[in-house]
Structure 1
Amino acid sequence: MALLEQFIQFTQQQIQISPKNTHLLLAVSGGIDSMVMVDLFHKAGYSFTIAHCNFQLRGEESTRDEMFVKALGEKYNKEVLVKLFNTKEYATSNKLSIQVAARELRYAWFEELLTVARESFSVNGQQSMVNGQPTPDNLRLTTYDLRLLSTAHHADDNIETLLLNFFRGTGISGLHGILPRQGNIIRPLLFAKREDIVAYAKKNGLAWVEDNSNASDKYSRNFVRHQVMPLMKTIYPQAEENLLGNIERFKEIELIYNTSIVQKKAKLIEPKGNEWHLPILKLKKQVPLKTIVYEVVKDFGFASTQTGEVVKLLDAANGSYMASPTHRLIVNRNWLIIAPIQPEEATNVLIEEGVKEINFKEGLLTLKPSTFNEALLAENKLPIATNIAVLNADDIEFPLLLRPYKQGDYFYPLGMQKKKKLSKFFIDQKLSKTDKEKVWVIESNKRIVWVVGYRIDNRFRLKPSTSKMLEIDWEKV
């Protein structure tokens, strides 16, 4: 089957688009892959706009590529949009590699164009407007729906991506390679090998420009292309076909895997407001444990390399925790709690030693550690108020846990030697149902230290032998 026929079949069946009412944004570098993509879309009857990024990294070559792509507008009678980037400056200021910087810049621009297109329209050839302002790069829109970006990734790119992901250790999600359609990005050449693309370009008399950086092995993708794959083909001549077959199998395996993971997570995770609670004993019985633990925590900023530490955390002491950039995993009795790091969003807040202030849903806590002087107690110079707790810091273990009251909680009210359930304590205090829902407690190693705003625990009262004191002030919302 000719490449054009395969292209039409692939775009309709795998990507599910057709020329009718579809206007595409084509990312065109000027290289052979993108030139063949443009020609195929043109011959298949699609409407499209061409977008070219000039990263200003290769001097005259970059300018040459820009002028070459601009000339396509006349050849195909299409609009060509060009954006110049100061890539080196962006990479330096954001501490990124040139490759990562270029990727971020180009996809941010492409998304800007697609967003503008979604929000704009043209009337009688007038310039499109968004909120009364001209659209970027003088983009004029047609009545077509411009929502999809097309890139020229092909089968060889897919093989290289598979191998790079495998060596990086991205897990099963990286083994399906590049997807034909992902969000608003499509890759209509994934069915074609590079040799097929080159043959098509030569047969149809297409011109293209060469990027000299593609010959350098200092880039990981080029190294795989020029060194790894040729060596593997000396051992397995069908290596490329085998890997492409594996990609298709991995896609199907991933579907089965994800279905199972969704079911496991639904049975394990209990959403509680902005938190997620997992029963530790039930979690520890899961097989395979590390895989399921990783799938649970990866969405909260934890890396695959931390999975072993998370598993160890399941056997750690109460109050133990570990953190990602956005969340904490907290051991609280028989539960593993996933809570946002921002205290005002969490309903279980860790208070580490040295912390001076904690903002939470019911107000502001201020912690004031000091040395205890028995004379303060004898002379009644200690603060006495329901919104202030003065505690024996000698008996306190950090981190403290600030959390809402829950059924079954008990403490030893100040002045009493016997424990009392908080539910009964609240009856004595004549609290309404809504008042109870706003009660928070502070724990130290599974023991309630203070029912915030009401009473401290007798076990943490000041004694003549106390050497360190902790005052906690509560400023109510």
Structure 2
Amino acid sequence: MELLTRFIRHVYEHHLFTKNDRLLLAVSGGVDSVVLGQLCKLAGFDFGVAHCNFQLRGTESDTDELFVKKLAEKWEVPFFTIRFNTREFAAANKLSIQEAARELRYEWFTEIRKKELFDYVLTAHHANDNIETVLMSFFRGTGINGLTGIKETNDLLVRPLLFAKRTELEAFLEAQSLHFVQDASNLKDDYTRNYIRNKLLPQLAAIYPEVEQNLMNNIHRFREVQALYRQSVEHARKKLLVTSGAEVQLPVLLLLKTAAPQTLLLEIIKEYGFSAGQLPEVFALTESEPGRYIASGTHRVIRDRKHLVIAPLPPAVQSRLIIEGPGKFFFSEGRMELRKRKYEGAIPEDPGIAWLDAAAIQFPLILRPWRTGDYFYPLGMTKKKKVARFLIDQKLSATQKEKVWVLEMQQKLPWIVNHRIDNRFRVTTGTKEIVEIKYLR
């Protein structure tokens, strides 16, 4: 029962959840999720089981669903299940099967959590999942952020098994005489993750027997390194950048005197829509004549006499801005500051400040001008309304309407910027964390 002791200690030491919380467990029927359920049962946590039938393996998918249902009955906990036409959804949204399944399940988990008043959603990601994710990130060249692995908590999503290796979960399963179902696709090497799991890591272990533990230790070190890295970048940003209206000026000579000018430049420009692939072109501007520029989807970096000037594209060029997470964002009609924080205090009446329930928000978000055909559910209303009609009711002139932008998430509009939020994203008595967005001209 050593794993149970470590599990309980890990949950409380890292403040993941408590005995007073209701937990919704995502259970596929595989080793990992069965172990998670058994641990929660033995530890005395209050939980329910959610199972997704993606209908990708015919009768096997139905067998898995029945297996998990019986598990829930054995544990004497609530059971929730849903069937998805995953292939149809993937084709309609131009997604891979894996991406489609992920999007479907997490949206459904959020719905069940809210409807049934669960506090957290738990998944059974473990240490080996973390190792595989880091290796994939390393080979893709995602930088230091990709080497910090899977987050243990992400809003109301918790992954409490990241401390344990798969071999430990299997040993616990055997000791508890538990059964599980095997997804045959996990044994194939068709997917990158499966290849790393089934081929690459065993080969590395033959050379470096402690490779798994070493990588787990490295993930912890990289997280601390990232914290120092972010601290250093933020210090340099405050020292170098000068904001003038919607423009940001970066002194070229001071940039070149920093310890890592290219890395620092990338950290600065990526907030304005520039990719790592554009970095060589942007950095080349430090040696170019004044007037040359490189553009992203939303901004330009222009070489001035002594500065690199980051400025929004003209309205005719800028069409949308992808928001991957909290931060500051510039667009043709002003700038926007987005952050997550604990829900406390009175909801502001300023239309330029939006408070949205963080549990309902999934990144990325899209900031764009409104379009004919757009609709939303205005705050306080249960019926949808076309944005065009809403703007008419607000008595906006034709030129004022041209300047209205919206925030889009999965074909929904959480906020008509500087005007009204969507009722489906409002804060409620059950809200614990909010996404606060401020619009500044």
For residue 174 of structure 1, the aligned residue among 146, 158, 170 is 146
Residue equivalent to 1:140: 116
**Runs of at least 5 residues in structure 1 that lack an aligned partner in the other structure:** 118-138, 347-358, 363-477
Cα separation, 2, equivalents of 1:110 and 1:268: 44
Query: Does structure 2 retain, via aligned residues, the 8 Å contact 1:23–1:47?
Result: yes
1:6-155 → structure 2 map (5 Å cutoff): 6-20=6-20, 22-114=21-113, 117=114, 139-141=115-117, 146-155=118-127
Deviation string, structure 1 residues 226-278 (Cα, Å, up to 9, x no partner): 11111111111111111111111111111111111111112222334444332
Q: Distance in 2 between matches of 1:56 and 1:313?
A: 52
User: Is 1:219 matched with 2:191?
Assistant: yes
User: Distance in 2 between the 1:76 and 1:210 partners?
Assistant: 20
Partner of 1:463: none
Deviations 1:73-116 (A, max 9, x none): 322222222222222122222322211222222222223444xx
**In the TM superposition, what are the counterparts of 1:340-379 in structure 2 within 5 Å?**
340-341=312-313, 343=315
Amino acid at match of 1:74: E
Rg comparison, structure with higher value: 1
Of stretches 306-315 and 26-35 in structure 1, the one that deviates more from structure 2 is: 306-315
Q: Hey, what does 2:348 align to over in structure 1? A: none
Aligned partner letter, 2:94: K
Q: Using the TM superposition, give the Cα deviation of residue 324 of structure 1 relative to its aligned residue in structure 2, in angstroms.
A: 2.3
CA-atom RMSD in angstroms: 2.4
Gap change, CA 1:327 and 1:360, over 3 Å in 2: closer
Q: Does 1:196 align with 2:168?
A: yes
Task: Supply the distance in 2 between the matched residues of 1:60 and 1:182 (Cα, whole angstroms).
Answer: 34
Paired residue for 1:436?
none
Inter-CA distance 62–271: structure 2 relative to 1 (3 Å threshold) = farther
**TM-score of the aligned structures, taking structure 1 as reference length:** 0.63
Change in Cα spacing, 1:277 to 1:109, as seen in structure 2 (3 Å) is farther
Relative to 1, partners in 2 of residues 1:276 and 1:109: Cα closer, same or farther, differing over 3 Å? farther
Aligned partners of 1:287 and 1:240: how far apart in 2? Answer: 33
Structure-1 residue corresponding to 2:2: 2
Q: Is the contact between residue 318 and residue 332 of structure 1 (CA under 8 Å) also seen in structure 2?
A: yes
Residue identity matched to 1:184: L
TM-score by length of 2: 0.68
Report the alpha carbon displacement of residue 214 of structure 1 after superposing the two structures with TM. 0.3
Shift of 1:223: 0.4
In 2, distance between residues paired with 1:195 and 1:361? 54
Residues 16 and 158, structure 2, Cα contact 8 Å, conserved in 1 = no
**1:304, 1:155 → 2: CA distance?**
29
Q: Give matches, 1:194-273, under 5 Å.
A: 194-273=166-245
Q: CA deviation at 1:342?
A: 5.8
The question of whether the paired residues in 1 share the 8 Å contact of 2:312 and 2:332 is answered with no
5+ residue gaps in structure 2?
Answer: 319-330, 335-441
**Cα distance change of structure 1 residues 304 and 6 upon mapping to structure 2, 3 Å threshold:** same
Q: Is the 8 A contact 1:344 1:361 kept in 2?
A: no
Q: Give the stretch that moved more between structures: 55-64 or 90-99.
A: 90-99
Q: Report the CA distance between 1:314 and its aligned residue.
A: 2.7
The CA deviation string for residues 429-473 of structure 1, in whole angstroms up to 9 with x for no partner, is: xxxxxxxxxxxxxxxxxxxxxxxxxxxxxxxxxxxxxxxxxxxxx
Q: How does 1:301-312 map to 2 (within 5 A)?
A: 301-312=273-284
Q: In structure 1, the residue corresponding to 2:300 is in which secondary structure?
A: strand
- The amino acid of 1:229's aligned partner reads L
Please give the residue correspondences for 1:405-420 in structure 2 after superposition, counting only pairs within 5 Å: none
Structure 1 residues 360 and 97: alpha-carbon distance in aligned structure 2, compared to 1, 3 A threshold: closer
Q: Which amino acid aligns with 1:238?
A: E
d(CA) in 2 for partners of 1:226, 1:274: 51
Task: Find the aligned partners of 1:66 and 1:326 in 2 and give their Cα distance.
Answer: 46
Deviates more, 1:276-285 or 1:253-262: 276-285
CA contact (8 A) 1:4 1:40 kept: yes
Question: Which letter does structure 2 place at the counterpart of 1:105?
Answer: L
Distance 2:313 2:95 in 1: 26
1:337 aligns with 2:309: yes
> Counterpart of 2:261?
289
Which of residues 159, 167, 170 is equivalent to 1:187?
A: 159
Identity of aligned residues (%): 46
SS of equivalent to 1:175 = helix
**241 and 70 in structure 1: CA distance in 2 versus 1, 3 angstrom threshold:** same
CA distance in 1, matches of 2:256, 2:176: 61
Relative to structure 1, the CA distance from residue 342 to residue 7 in structure 2 (aligned partners, 3 Å threshold; closer, same or farther) is: farther
Inter-partner Cα distance in structure 2 for 1:263 and 1:111: 37
Distance, in Å, in 2 between the alignment partners of 1:241 and 1:360 is 49
